[in-house]
Amino acid sequence: MKIRNLSTLLVSAGLILGLATSASAADDGDKILHLGWGADIQTMDVHKTTDNYAVPLSIFDRLLEVQLNDDGSTELVNSIAKDYEISDDGLTYSFTLRDDVYFSDGTQLTAEDVEATFTRMFTLEDSVQTDFTTCIKGAQAILDGETDTLEGVHVTDDLHFEITLEEPFAGFLSVLATPTCCIMSKANLEEAGDDFGQVPEKTIGSGPYMVTEWIRNDSLTLVRNPKYWGEPASAAEVHYKVYPEAASLNMAFQNGDVDILDCEFLDTAIVESVYETAYADQMVNVNRLGTYYLSLNMGVEPMTDVKVRKAMQMAIDRQSILDSIFGGNGVLVDGIYPAGAIGFSEDNQGWLQYDPEGAKALLAEAGYPDGFDVELSVDSGSSQNRQNIYQIVQQNLQDVGINANIVNYDKSSWLAKRTSGEIPIYTSTWTLDYNDPSNIIDVFFSSAEGSKIRSINYQDQEIMTRVADAKKILDENERLAEYAALEKKIVEEDASWVPLFCLQHKFVVSDKIEKFVPHWAGYGDFNCANVVMK
Amino acid sequence: MKIVLKRLLSMIPVLLGVILLTFILLRVVPGNPVSILLGEHYNQETIERLTSYMNLDKSVLEQFLSYAAGILRGDLGVSYVMKKPVTDLIFQAFPYTVKLALLSAAIAWFIGLGAGIVAALKQNKLADHLFMGFSLAGVSVPIFMTALFLQYVFAFRIKVFPLSSDGSLISLVLPAIALGWNSAGSIARMTRSSLVDVMQADYIDTAKAKGVRHSAVIFGHALKNSLLPVITMMAMQLASMMSGAVITESIFSIPGIGRLATQAVQNRDMPLLQGTILFTTIIVIFGNLIADVLYGIIDPRIRRAV
């Protein structure tokens, strides 16, 4: 009895202290969304990061947005671009901006800001977003140091501008909807300098939220942007908190300290045993538009022989990898494009079957009846799940006589080895930035150099030229047919990688959440305006 | 005063050694930090541009000279990944570490000294066994076990304390106990053995024979003499706590120096890694210095010997 009294006392003391410390700036009745991160972001400046998208998605606007519908389909919708026209040659895009878009500091968003944003993407010395936007005319000239002005963006007046491309690119509108193309304020960029993306009050956007506080490695706070042109977001404030330990994040969610739990931070076993059962009604699943693959370096003996590569494709038991490591949460794919993405072709599915006996026969035919030695190069900084894939791959290869040694590298060394084109076999995944086949096939198979730095070393120059040219085809059906043909050639005929699977991204939401729409490509990051609270 | 000055001067070669060694080690290991920065999104153009932007295409000697020149100006460079001056990052993280370290040290000293003294005076009695068992657990149970256990019981099952740090004092209690218990264990064991030794010395018998009160014998004579090694240990422990407690900081989400250093390692963030190593070296050197000075204050023989 006494002990119970004591613990009640302690609990109430704790509650009082807890309340005293967590008193918030929000008014009564205002909803606060609590989110947990496994690791802190490094910057809020989207030109300097290729993965810290959570804050930019919530505090900036893009010209267009991709909307994820309830049935899982996606569509491109206008955002701060009110309207646009594309010239017949597919080169010039004429935009009209909405006239009611204001940055959170009260200044209007104009075509000048759009121009400044795109120019900065290429003039900023440490910009890392020079990948798929270099299709804009004159971008390459800036990167080559020839000029400081971006020829391809032309401001007509405050609300009108044109973007001209180097060559036609059917996926360009989708590119404009990526986090890469968040529109920044010219005045803010000039005034803030290096503080942009680092200091909350110097990082001004026009999106549904504005950032008010960021304590590095600890927490970040978003507050509704009173100047926002669209429907105000449901939560008045968003509090991010960093939980470096998965166990702490898990407990924090169950304690009610976190409202949306990203299952990717947790062990698959915990997700299955705890969340898939007790929280089954609160799970939100979205397809991750990313393909897992096992690379087969075509420049490393004996994988130079297509028969050997075909044998290796047949040797891998993909379904058992998917089932035992990822709890079966995904689908096998047999090509390059992720399931559900534009370009995904049903006709190119179903040809690859697990067949160890057939693999052995092919190996013998290729002159390796006793197999060979090969290295599986593991990035020890990658997720545990990904590292576990190598264990099964090693066993599968062993079963057909191939002696695979697992060698661990730290992330930086692993990347260096991959960039030099020397990793024989590795597994990784590529998630779409924009919904277009070019976003994935171009990365691996459009140039000898690009293929080398992914340690694939694809050899067929003619095919690579066709890959690079496919995005210029303006007729949608013709273009997709070409992409499907290229996929068939590269994966089925040339066996240049073992296509594995596409996964689902799982989230668990608390009972305070009415509706949560994740990012269309299944990122862990999302625009907080897509969360509706009860 | 002279000793302090001498010790301060002798810090210089140590610091130089540390700077040079970390610099060279970080350049010898393979891998390009640029690739970490880019993750999956890299192409040859970006790699080359960033390598040159980060001066990684210069010779190691050139890189070192510009780094060394920066240090003299108090500039430790800008973190590759966090895009912020290293000194800013360190001085933002340090207060969190200091708060945690001071609280843990207070707990460790209070419990450690108390338990050690009681155990020594009640040698081989129940209290002794009890306290020593408790301290053995403190020394041998890894911190992450203690931390997760405390968090699970007192923040998850019985919600007395917050699960993770929110900057308030109450949220630091669990991490401080987790971190402090380990140190308390070693302090208790050392206090006990040292005090037991001293209690057998002749001058204690003399004092007792002269009829000095029991408490005066213990606190006036025995304890004063037995605490010397304990103080060294306490100073060293405090210094090591000040240089960051990676595991405790991670479990309780405290944005301290330990976390900063681990991230620097993971990201191959050379300026940040060099900066945190340099900073913690200075902390440890000062910890030693303070221990030595305290030694001199407590024990006049040492002062005279120097």
Q: Which residues contact B218 (CB under 8 A, 6 or more apart)?
A: B117, B121
Q: Please say if the pLDDT value at position A18 is more than 80.
A: no
Query: Mutating which of B32, B34, B43 best tests the A interface, going by the most A Cβ atoms within 10 A?
Result: B43
Q: Quick check: B168 and A21 CB within 8 A? A: yes
pLDDT at A291: 95
Alpha carbons A237 and A224: distance in angstroms, whole number: 6
From the centroid of its chain, how far is CA B236? Answer: 7
Whether A2-240+513-533 and A290-503 share one fold: the answer is no
Query: From the CA of A367, how many Å to the nearest CA of chain B?
Result: 36
Backbone phi, then psi, for A10, in 5-degree steps? -60, -45
Q: Quick check: A245 and B38 CB within 8 A? A: no
Q: Residue A396's pLDDT band (boundaries 50, 70, 90)?
A: very high
Contact B198, B222 (CB under 8 A): yes
pLDDT at B83: 87
CATH of range A290-503; options 3.40.50.720, 3.20.20.140, 3.10.105.10, 3.30.420.40: 3.10.105.10
For A192-246, write each residue's pLDDT tens digit. 999 999 999 999 999 999 999 999 999 999 999 999 999 999 999 999 999 998 8
Q: Which residues on chain B are in Cβ contact (under 8 Å) with A194?
A: 83
Q: Quick check: B32 and A14 CB within 8 A? A: no
Q: Residue A16's pLDDT band (boundaries 50, 70, 90)?
A: very low
The H or E element spanning position A24 is none
Q: Which residues on chain B are in Cβ contact (under 8 Å) with A428?
A: 40
Q: Which residues on chain A are in Cβ contact (under 8 Å) with B93?
A: 216-217
Q: Quick check: B158 and A7 CB within 8 A? A: yes
Which pair of tokens denotes residue A230?
């669209």
Q: Which residues on chain B are in Cβ contact (under 8 Å) with A13?
A: 160
Q: Quick check: A11 and B152 CB within 8 A? A: no
Query: Quick one: closest CA in A to B168, which residue?
Result: A21
pLDDT at B81: 87
Q: Residue A440's pLDDT band (boundaries 50, 70, 90)?
A: very high
Q: Which residues on chain A are in Cβ contact (under 8 Å) with B162?
A: 18, 21
Q: Quick check: A18 and B156 CB within 8 A? A: no
Alpha carbons A450 and A456: distance in angstroms, whole number: 9
Q: Quick check: A194 and B83 CB within 8 A? A: yes
pLDDT at A6: 42
CA distances, A87 to each of A2, A158, A228, A478, B17 (Å): 82, 21, 31, 19, 65
Q: Quick check: A131 and B43 CB within 8 A? A: yes
Domains of chain A, by residue range, sit at 2-240+513-533, 246-287, 290-503
A74-78 and A497-499: which strand pairing?
unpaired
Alpha carbons A262 and A266: distance in angstroms, whole number: 8
User: What average pLDDT score do residues B142-168 get?
Assistant: 89
Q: Which residues on chain B are in Cβ contact (under 8 Å) with A414?
A: 31
Greater confidence (B46 vs A220) lies with A220
Query: Mutating which of A10, A125, A202, A216 best tests the B interface, going by the most B Cβ atoms within 10 A?
Result: A216
DSSP assignment string, B67-127: HHHHHHTT---B-TTT-SBHHHHHHHHHHHHHHHHHHHHHHHHHHHHHHHHHHHHTTTSHH
Alpha carbons B44 and A134: distance in angstroms, whole number: 13
For A148-181, write each residue's pLDDT tens digit. 999 999 999 999 999 999 999 988 999 999 999 9
Q: Residue B304's pLDDT band (boundaries 50, 70, 90)?
A: low
Q: Residue A20's pLDDT band (boundaries 50, 70, 90)?
A: very low
User: What average pLDDT score do residues B169-198 get?
Assistant: 89
Q: Please say if the pLDDT value at position A405 is more than 80.
A: yes
Q: Quick check: B250 and A257 CB within 8 A? A: no
Q: Residue A445's pLDDT band (boundaries 50, 70, 90)?
A: very high
Query: Quick one: closest CA in A to B40, which residue?
Result: A430
What is the residue type of B303? R
Burial class (CB in 10 A: 0-12, 13-18, 19+), A279: middle
Number of H helices, E strands in chain B: 15, 0
Q: Quick check: A245 and B250 CB within 8 A? A: yes
Q: Residue B1's pLDDT band (boundaries 50, 70, 90)?
A: low
Q: Residue A523's pLDDT band (boundaries 50, 70, 90)?
A: very high
Q: Please say if the pLDDT value at position B27 is more than 70.
A: yes
Q: Which residues on chain B are in Cβ contact (under 8 Å) with A51?
A: 39
Of A71-85, A196-210, B120-134, the poorest mean pLDDT is in B120-134
Q: Which residues on chain A are in Cβ contact (under 8 Å) with B29?
A: 412-413
Q: What percent of chain B has pLDDT over 90?
A: 20
ipTM of the complex: 0.85
DSSP assignment string, A316-332: --HHHHHHHHHTT-EEE
Which pair of tokens denotes residue A28?
């009564």
Q: Quick check: A453 and B252 CB within 8 A? A: no
User: What average pLDDT score do residues B86-98 get?
Assistant: 92
Residue with tokens 């004159």: A138
User: What average pLDDT score do residues B165-169 get?
Assistant: 84
Of A106-115, A293-302, B185-194, B285-294, the poorest mean pLDDT is in B285-294
Q: Residue A13's pLDDT band (boundaries 50, 70, 90)?
A: very low
Q: Which residues contact A348 (CB under 8 A, 6 or more apart)?
A: A334, A335, A484, A487, A488, A491, A492
Q: Quick check: B29 and A413 CB within 8 A? A: yes
For A254-313, write each residue's pLDDT tens digit. 999 999 999 988 888 888 888 988 899 999 999 999 999 999 999 998 999 999 999 999
User: What average pLDDT score do residues B97-118 get?
Assistant: 90
Per CATH, the homologous superfamily of domain A2-240+513-533 is Periplasmic binding protein-like II (3.40.190.10)
Q: Quick check: A218 and B152 CB within 8 A? A: no
pLDDT at A131: 83
What is the residue type of A356? P
Q: Which residues on chain B are in Cβ contact (under 8 Å) with A128?
A: 37-38, 41, 46, 50
Count the residues in chain A. Answer: 534
> Shortest CB distance from B164 goes to which of A43, A248, A449?
A248
Q: Please say if the pLDDT value at position B135 is more than 70.
A: yes
For A331-342, write each residue's pLDDT tens digit. 999 999 999 898
pLDDT at B172: 92
Look over chain A and give the mean of its residue pLDDT values, rounded to a whole number: 90
What is the residue type of A232? P
Q: Quick check: A415 and B35 CB within 8 A? A: yes
Q: Please say if the pLDDT value at position B5 is more than 80.
A: yes
pLDDT at B299: 75
For B222-244, write each residue's pLDDT tens digit. 887 888 888 888 888 888 888 87
> Shortest CB distance from A430 goes to which of B40, B45, B252?
B40
Q: Which residues on chain A are in Cβ contact (under 8 Å) with B252?
A: 248
Query: From the CA of A216, how many Å to the nearest CA of chain B?
Result: 7
Per CATH, the homologous superfamily of domain B93-305 is MetI-like (1.10.3720.10)
Q: Which residues on chain A are in Cβ contact (under 8 Å) with B54?
A: 126
Query: From the CA of B167, how many Å to the nearest CA of chain A?
Result: 9
Q: Which residues contact A462 (CB under 8 A, 6 or more apart)?
A: none
Domains of chain B, by residue range, sit at 33-75, 93-305
pLDDT at A5: 45
Q: Quick check: A21 and B47 CB within 8 A? A: no
pLDDT at B306: 53
Q: Quick check: A50 and B40 CB within 8 A? A: yes
pLDDT at B174: 93
Helix, strand or coil for residue B294? helix
State the number of CA atoms in the 13 A half-sphere of A7 facing the CB. Answer: 9
Q: Quick check: A257 and B164 CB within 8 A? A: yes
Query: From the CA of B268, how many Å to the nearest CA of chain A?
Result: 7
> Shortest CB distance from B163 goes to which of A126, A248, A449?
A248
Alpha carbons A115 and A184: distance in angstroms, whole number: 10
For B273-298, write each residue's pLDDT tens digit. 999 999 999 888 888 888 888 777 77
Q: Please say if the pLDDT value at position A3 is more than 50.
A: no
Per the DSSP assignment, residues forming a β-bridge with A95 are A84, A161
Query: From the CA of B3, how many Å to the nearest CA of chain A?
Result: 40
DSSP assignment string, A473-534: --SHHHHHHHHHHHHIIIIIIS--EEE-EEEEEEEEE-TTEEEE---TT--S---GGGEEE-
Greater confidence (A19 vs A360) lies with A360
Contact A198, B83 (CB under 8 A): yes
Q: Quick check: A11 and B35 CB within 8 A? A: no
Alpha carbons A484 and A470: distance in angstroms, whole number: 11
Q: Which residues on chain A are in Cβ contact (under 8 Å) with B90?
A: none
Query: Among residues A498, A526, A530, which one has the least CA distance to residue A513?
Result: A530
Query: Quick one: closest CA in B to A42, which residue?
Result: B82
Cα angle A403-A405-A410, degrees, rounded to a multiple of 5: 160
Q: Quick check: B82 and A216 CB within 8 A? A: yes
User: What average pLDDT score do residues A130-142 get?
Assistant: 90
Helix, strand or coil for residue A451? helix
Q: Which residues on chain A are in Cβ contact (under 8 Å) with B89?
A: 216
pLDDT at A22: 42
Which pair of tokens denotes residue B234?
């306490």
Query: Quick one: closest CA in B to A37, which residue?
Result: B253
